[in-house]
Amino acid sequence: MTSSPPQPGWFPDARDPRLHRWWDGRAWTANTRPAQQAPPPSDSELIELDIERGHNPARVQDQVNRATSGRGAGRAGGGTLFTEPVLVVNQRAKLIEMANEFGVFDQHGNQLGGVVQVGQSALKKAIRLLTNYDQFLTHKFEVRDANHSTVLKVTRPAKVFKSRFLVTRADETPIGEIVQENVFGKIRFGFVVDGHTVGGIFAENWRAWNFSIRDHAGTEVARVTKTWGGFLKAAFTTADNYVVEIPHPLPDPLASMVVAAALTIDTALKQDTN
């Protein structure tokens, strides 16, 4: 299953907010017109466009330098979500957040893909806007590559106390589960594949600002570091931007579980603070 680019239409111009530019379904054209003449794009159309244009390479590189203390990556990347040693995850800023959307970049600021929350019905959006019950509902995320193709799906079923995440490929072939192991103290999640624990994700303090991702033997294979200072005012995993370090190539299914966890766990857990 793939996610197609937006349909042709007028969209806000990235360089001049007074204009809208025509998207022909495959690329931006030279045609523009005043913004007030163009109907606003839908939320689903804006999701794809913001992931493509809403980043600054210099800002991304600065995030990497701060998260890695300037050491950068220790190996060359392969240019994909599963082969880069550093993934930079930045949230699309919205005045009222009805669905979470993140862009994912390599350490040089090149776009690798994005993470989009899907399946938000009008009722779910109203619940999210008006109440705190959204945290108990089912949440679905798609991890997409730079071509907008879905490469992983992550579903967090409705929950009361502990969260559970179902990780599948784009065609919904099961890969494994990410299972919350505790409620109090430093939060922990186990990676379960075919009934066996193959690793897990561990918060480094009770507020879960940073995570250590480990394999079945307890060896750290990845790290998640928050990079935006505004998250300090929050009680739990509300950081908008973070850096994922994966210093060594990982075999599947661990590689898919690590990428799924690193790119969506923080996003899904954010629901619990609303």
Task: Give the model confidence (pLDDT) of 148-170 as tens digits.
Answer: 899 999 998 887 778 889 999 99
Q: Which two tokens stand for residue 46?
A: 């804006």
Q: How many residues does the chain have?
A: 274
Phi (first) and psi of residue 63, to 5 degrees: -60, -45
> What are the respective helix, strand and coil percentages of the chain, to the nearest 5?
25, 35, 45
Residue with tokens 């979470």: 100
Give tens-digit pLDDT for 213-246: 999 999 999 999 887 534 333 333 344 688 999 9
Task: Give Cα separations from 74 to 70, 248, 260 (angstroms).
Answer: 11, 9, 22
Distance CA 21, CA 32 (A): 4
CA Rg, the chain, in Å? 19
Distance CA 244, CA 113 (A): 14
Mean pLDDT comparison of 57-61, 88-92, 112-116, 150-154, highest-scoring range: 150-154
Q: Which residues contact 159 (CB under 8 A, 6 or more apart)?
A: 136
Give tens-digit pLDDT for 29-82: 777 777 766 555 544 444 444 444 445 777 788 888 888 876 666 677 889 999
